Chain A
Amino acid sequence: MSAIIKTTHLTKAYGTQKAVDNLHMTVEQGQIYGFLGQNGAGKTTTIRMLLGLIKPTQGQIEIFGENLLTKQKEILRRVGSIVEFSGFYENLTARENLLINAKLMGVHKKNAIEEALEIVGLQNEPAKLVGKYSLGMKQRLGIARAILHHPELLILDEPTNGLDPIGIKEIRKLITTLAEERKITILISSHILSEVEQLADQIGIIHQGKLLEEISFAELRTRNRKFLEFQVSNDNKAAMLLEQRFDIFDYEVHDDGKIRVYSHIGQQGKINKMLVEHDIEVSRIALSEDRLEDYFIKLIGGGTIG
C-alpha cells in the first residue's frame, strides 16, 4: 500500500488559536478514511489545507507522493472535493453548472455530465434551476461535480450535514458504490460516529486540532472489551463489595447505579447472589461490549459526539 495523503507537522493558527495542531495523518490507497471530530475540531480547516485553499502555518502536505506546495495544479486535477456546503450558480441548471467544471477541467467525454448526474440520481429534472434545489439535492449535485473528472481521490467534508435520514442513507450508499466500483480513495469527515462507522476502513480522530488516534476499524474491534453491567440500588456499597469479595478492581461506576465489570465474565450469577445477600437490589444484568461511541468519548475526554 502507498500513502495517498500524508501530512507532517501540519498546523494552522488563527491568531493564538491553533485550529489544526501538529497533525500527522496518513491515508492509504483504496481506503475509505473517516475523519472524525466534534464541531470545531479542525476538520474543515485540515481539508481546506489539503486542497490548497488556505496555507498552513507550518508543516507539509504530500498527496500522491508529491508536495502540494510545488505540484498543486497537477495534484488537484486528480482530486474531487466538497468543502462544507457545495456552492452553485443558482441561476443555472445542474447540467450548466457541471458544464462549467467540465469545460475548465478539460473533460471532453460527451456523456460525462450525464453519467455523473445519473450516479447521484439527478438526471430527471433537466430544466430545474439549482436555486430551486433542496439541500439534499445540492449535496448530491456536489458529489456529481466532484466525480465528474474521474478523480483518484475524493475529499468530502461532512457530505451528509443537514440532510434527513433518507438523504444520509442515499449518500452513504453512493459513497460505498464509488469506492467499490471506481476504486477511489475517499477521505470523508463527519461529526457523527455512526455515520463513518458503517463506511470507513480507517478512522482518524481529531479533537481541538490534534489527531488523537488513527486506527483501522478491524483493530478497533479487537480492542473493544466485554463487560458485565449491573443495575444496582446502591452503587457505592456494591462497588465496595465487589472489591472485597471478588477482588474486582477493573470496573467503572456509571450514572444511575450502573456498574460495569470488565473481568469475571461468566460469573454474573455468583456476583448477583452475593449482592442480593447484602441487601442490594439488582434490577438488571447484561453482558455487553464497549461501543465505539464510548471509546470515542473516552478518547476525547468526555463530551458527546453525534
Chain B
Amino acid sequence: MVNLVYTELLKLKRAKMFMVSLIGAAAAPLMVFIGYLDYKAKKPDMPVLFSEAFSQTNLYVLLLIGTLLYGVITAYLFNREYVEDTLKNLLTIPVSKISFIASKLVLLFIWILVLTLVAWGLTFILGWIGQYEGLSAGVLLQSLKQFLIGGSLLFLLSTPTIFVTFLFKNYVPTIIFTAVITMGNVALANREYKALYPWSAVHLIADNGFVPEYPPLYSYAAIIATAIIGLIATIVYFKKADIH
C-alpha cells in the first residue's frame, strides 16, 4: 500500500492539474479579500474580524468552490487511467482493484487537505496584509478545525463522484454531476432542508450552524449514508467491470 501511494504521488509529478488546483483553492480567500477591500472603501471605520474572514472563506470553499474543484480532481485522478490507457497495465501487474481504489482515495484525501490548508493559509496571509482584527490562537485553531472538518467530510462525499467517473469514463458527465450538486447547495442555502442534503450538511457541521428542525444526527447520517452507498456502488461496479 505504501508503494501504491508512492506511485500515485509520482504520477502527479509535473502534472499541470496540481498547479491548476492550487489556483482554484486560492479563489475563495481572494474573493473574500476583494469583498473586504470593497467594504473598507465604503466603510473605512468598521473593523473586519479574522474570525469573520475565516468563516466566510470556509463557506465559499465548502458550498461552491470545493464541491466543484474536488469533483474535478476526483475525476482527474480516476479518469486519467482510462484516458491515458494505463489501467490495463496496472491491473495486469497485478494490482488488485480494491487497493487501486484505496490508494487513489488516500491520494485524494491528501490532495484535498493540501488545498484546504492553502485556502486557510491564504486567508490568514491576506488578513495579515489587510490588517484584520481579533487575531488569537483560539480563532486560528477554531478556524483550522472548521476547515479541516469541512474538507474531510467533502472527501467522504467524493465516492458518488468516483462512481459517476467509472460509469461514464469521461470528464463531462462528472463535471455536470458536480455542477448539479453545487446548484443544490445554492438552492437550499436558505431552507431548513440543507441539513439533510449531504453536501450542504457538511457546512452546517463544520460551522456548527444546525437548524432547529433537524438534529445534527440527521446531517451526519445523510453524509455517511451517501459516502457508503457511493463507495459500495463504486466497488461493486468496478470489480465486475470489463477493462477495455
Interchain CA distance A48-B89 in the complex, whole Å = 11
Q: Does A296 contact B (CB under 8 A)?
A: no
Whether B6 lies near A103 (C-beta < 8 A) is yes
17 more contacts with CB within 8 A, not counting A48-B242, A48-B243, are: A52-B91, A53-B91, A53-B243, A53-B244, A54-B242, A55-B240, A72-B94, A79-B92, A87-B84, A87-B89, A89-B11, A89-B84, A90-B84, A92-B11, A96-B10, A103-B3, A104-B93
B85 interface hit (Cβ, 8 Å): yes
Q: Is B4 in contact with chain A by the CB < 8 A criterion? A: yes
CB nearest to B91 among chain A residues: A53
Interface string of B1-31 (1 = CB under 8 A from A): 0011011001101111000000000000000
- The residues of B with any CB-CB pair to A shorter than 8 Å are 3-4, 6-7, 10-11, 13-16, 84-96, 240, 242-244
Q: Of residues A51, A91, A96, which shows the largest number of chain B Cβ atoms within 10 Å of its Cβ?
A: A91
B93 touches A129 (CB 8 A): no
Q: Is the CB of A104 within 8 A of B95?
A: yes
Smallest Cβ distance from A140 to chain B, in angstroms?
Answer: 15
Chain A residue total in the interface (Cβ 8 A): 30
With A100-B7, A104-B3: A88-B84 Cβ-Cβ less than 8 Å: yes
A76 at interface, CB cutoff 8 A: yes
- Once A86-B89, A88-B86 are accepted as A-B contacts, the answer to whether A73 and B94 lie under 8 Å apart by CB is yes
CB-defined A-B contacts under 8 Å, sample of 14: A48-B88, A52-B94, A53-B88, A53-B92, A53-B244, A55-B240, A73-B96, A81-B92, A85-B85, A86-B89, A87-B84, A87-B86, A99-B7, A104-B3
Q: Which of A79, A103, A145 contacts B89 (CB 8 A)?
A: A145
Contacts of A96 in B (CB 8 A): 10, 13
A305 is an interface residue with CB less than 8 A from chain B? no
Known: A53-B88, A104-B3, A145-B89. A77 touches B94 (CB 8 A): yes
Instruction: Given A55-B242, A104-B7, A129-B14, answer yes or no on A83-B94 (Cβ-Cβ < 8 Å).
Output: no
Q: A89-114: contact bitstring with B at CB < 8 Å (1 yes, 0 no)?
A: 11110001001110111000000000
Residues of B within 8 Å of A85, CB to CB, are 85
Residues of A within 8 A of B91 (CB): 52-53
B90 with A91: CB separation less than 8 A? no
- Cα distance, A51 to B25, chains bound together (Å): 41
Q: Which residues of A contact B85 (CB under 8 A)?
A: 85-87
- In the assembled complex, the CB of A87 is this many whole angstroms from the nearest CB of chain B, namely 3
Q: Nearest-CB distance from A26 to chain B (Å)?
A: 22
A104 touches B4 (CB 8 A): yes
Q: Which residues of A contact B13 (CB under 8 A)?
A: 91-92, 96
